[in-house]
Chain A
Amino acid sequence: MQVSISATRKGLTVPSYIMLLAPAVTFMLLMYAYPFLASIVRSFLDKSGAFSFENYLKTIDLYTKDIAFTFTVTIFNTVCTAVLAILIAVYFRIRQNRITTILSAIYKLPLFIPFVVVAQMMNSFLAPHGLLNVALAQLGLIDLKQPLQLFNFAGLSFGFLWKQVPFAVLIMHGGFQMIDNSYIEAARSAGAGMGKVITRVLIPMNKSSILVSLVLVYSQIVGTFTLPYMLIGGKIPTTITVDIAHRVNYFRDFGVANALGVFSYLLVLLTAWYYLKTKLGETK
């Protein structure tokens, strides 16, 4: 009995508490930190295992256009997602009627569809003789002999927005719903029209969830593989993720693939830096 009490007391010492964290910390180190750091280290190693900038030189030589394309697609779609999602979420917040009830049920559907299915849908929808072109031709807006070519920036953006806007709305909508009516009414009684209420009160008061949703959208777009792979494939320009797959599948070139990976980390790091800066500012 004495031994067991003593053991229990010993169990309350600080090192034991730290040990409780060990499984989680080990998991994080093995599954996230190690592959992440390993890919960075290997990006600086040549085929013989020596330190070198060769992978980066090759990456810059071959893939600068694709890095720029990825960055442009990501920024463009994040901005478009922000605008559309804010408009929709604000509409849901300030208008509560039958239409918004129906819309708020429908808009969530894309969230439950995997990216690979979205990619396949977009493939048949945006194809030269796909649903969109056929519909436009039937409306007399285009000639099917010269269909819209959408397996490029435009089609990719359409697919990203279709998938990401509902996700952003879901997060923003929750934030907007938390804002009490009195804040809106206070602004209106001070003389603000709905435009000013939205820009000066609703959006700043929901800045946190807007920021979180856009950081997540941005990171997801940078890292999405299936949609650009199935819509654009190996055409130039394409996204970094397609290039990584290409280097690994066709050349077993992990060095350049890792260097490309580091560029995508840098792109994501940009948002992480902005997010942390804003959150720290809020805390102060």
Chain B
Amino acid sequence: MSELRMENLVARYGKVTALDRLNLTIKDGELVTLLGPSGCGKTTTLRSVSGFLKPDEGNIYIGHRNITDIPPEKRGIGLVFQNYALWPHMTVFQNLAFGLELRKVPLEEIRKKVRSVLSIVKLEGYEDRYPRQLSGGQQQRVALARAIILEPDILLLDEPLSNLDALLREQMRFEIAQIHKRLGITTLYVTHDQTEAMVISDRIVIMKDGKVMQDGRPEEIYLRPTNRFVAGFMGTTTFLEGTVQTIQGDSCMLKTFEGWELRGIACGGVTPGTKASAAVRPEAVEVLYSPIGAVSGKTPAENSFEAEVDSSYFTGEVIDYHFRLGSSFIRVRGDTKRILKPGDKVTVRIDPDRLPIVPAESI
């Protein structure tokens, strides 16, 4: 097992900088996910580590070994592809045995290893099948098995679940997480699916324009985003803009441009007097189903506002509402037992402990 370290990686495609001085360390046995929109540099990072792309600047280390100029076949890296890339003319056994044969491992040992790895990915007895005789999920498991059978120092997974249907994708997330826990291989995982990243990662690295926007544990990334991009990328976020009034410890008071006061969590080094954005997520908004003056005759609670239903969408589990809050909109999820109509007035309360307030300027 080994640590993977990237130092000042720069990769350019013509005039476009795909990686802009990327520094990233993945500790021994850790599973780190690169997450970001298309073109953010996550696949370029993965291709640089795998050796299929030579970075213009910087170095890549596995442990103390500088692998920047080492060809892919000598890096000791296992790779799982989005399209599985199982060789169609080989059976499952031959696909798995390929790398071992190149290393001149005796046939009996190859057989033993293939059996053992197939049991890890729950495909015992599939040795003689061809890839075309397997379902998408089974093919993905074989691709994973082919990568781990060589006991690589580093495992790279390039959007491995994106070709699977939603149900299978959800199941495979947990399986990959479990296999990683069992084997403890240092793993770099690339995806654009935030839920996938949250479920399987020890750490998530959010990227944009070849730079790291934030690097942290999944809950940190989600609950304490350090900038507007991360706050907007994670979850279903709508923003309320304003100026920071006060900061006490973690707590931050924001006065919106419409004059409402919002308490939330100070994130990303916001300071009093600066413009900031409150990242409102549906799960932080409680719907009280009555106009603000009618709520138990009490004075309005903190972070409570009157809102008007603008539109609603039935999704099955919940109703997805767009509420008008002054001139702004927020997304809210409501109970299917009580359906509001456009034009209805309600009171909403935003939980201050789940309301990150981040610097307004976009990075």
Contacts and interface: CB of A to CB of B under 8 A. Distances in A.
B282 interface: no
Contact of B103 (A182, A191, A201, A204): A191
A180 interface: yes
Interface string B70-104: 01111101110111011111000000001100110
Contacts of B304: none
A185 B150 CA distance: 15
A190 B89 contact: no
Interface string A187-211: 1111111001000110011010000
Given A196-B102, A200-B98, A186 B73 contact: no
A183 interface: yes
A187 B89 contact: no
B150 A186 contact: no
Given A190-B98, A191-B150, A200-B98, A185 B89 contact: no
A7 to B, nearest CB: 47
Nearest to B78: A189
Contacts of A200: 98
B85 A188 contact: no
A185 B73 CA distance: 9
A201 B87 CA distance: 7
B353 to A, nearest CB: 45
Contacts of A190: 73, 98-99, 102, 146, 150
B104 to A, nearest CB: 11
A209 to B, nearest CB: 14
A192 B81 contact: no
B85 A207 contact: no
Interface string B48-89: 001110000000000000000001111101110111011111
A192 B87 contact: no
Contact of A180 (B71, B78, B83, B89): B83
Contact of A189 (B73, B82, B87, B103): B73
Nearest to A197: B73
B87 A185 contact: no
Q: Which of B78, B81, B83, B88 has the most CB of A within 10 A?
A: B81
Contacts of B85: 180, 182-183, 185-186
Interface residues of A, number: 18
A201 B99 CA distance: 12
Contacts of B88: 205
Q: What range describes how many residues of B lie at the interface?
A: 20 to 34
A185 B98 contact: no
Contacts of B99: 190-192
Contacts of A205: 87-89
Which of A191, A193, A200 has the most C-beta atoms of chain B within 10 angstroms of its own C-beta?
A: A191
Contacts of B147: 189
B51 to A, nearest CB: 8
Contacts of B75: 189
B274 to A, nearest CB: 47
Contact of A182 (B72, B78, B81, B98): B81
B87 A183 contact: yes
Given A190-B98, A191-B103, A207 B89 contact: yes
B89 A188 contact: no
Best-surrounded residue of B71, B88, B102, B150 (most CB of chain A within 10 A)? B102
Nearest to A181: B52
Contact of A185 (B74, B81, B102): B81
Nearest to A207: B89
Contacts of A196: 102
A185 B147 CA distance: 12
A224 to B, nearest CB: 33
B102 A192 contact: yes
A6 to B, nearest CB: 48
Q: Which of A190, A205, A207 has the most CB of B within 10 A?
A: A190
Contacts of B77: 189
A192 B50 CA distance: 14
Contacts of A182: 81-83, 85
B227 to A, nearest CB: 34
A189 B102 contact: no
A195 to B, nearest CB: 11
A233 to B, nearest CB: 46
B97 to A, nearest CB: 10
A191 B51 CA distance: 12
Contacts of A180: 83, 85
Nearest to B76: A191
B102 A186 contact: no
A207 B150 CA distance: 28
A204 B73 contact: no
A196 B71 CA distance: 15
A99 B106 CA distance: 42
Nearest to A206: B89
B148 to A, nearest CB: 12
12 contacts: A186-B79, A186-B146, A187-B87, A187-B98, A188-B52, A189-B72, A189-B79, A189-B147, A190-B150, A191-B150, A196-B102, A204-B89
Given A180-B83, A188-B73, A189-B73, 18 more contacts: A185-B52, A186-B81, A187-B98, A189-B72, A189-B75, A189-B78, A190-B146, A191-B74, A191-B99, A191-B102, A191-B103, A192-B73, A192-B98, A192-B99, A196-B102, A204-B89, A205-B87, A205-B89
**Across chains A and B, which 10 residue pairs bring their CB atoms closest together, nearest first?**
A190-B99, A182-B85, A189-B79, A186-B85, A182-B81, A204-B89, A188-B72, A191-B102, A188-B73, A191-B73
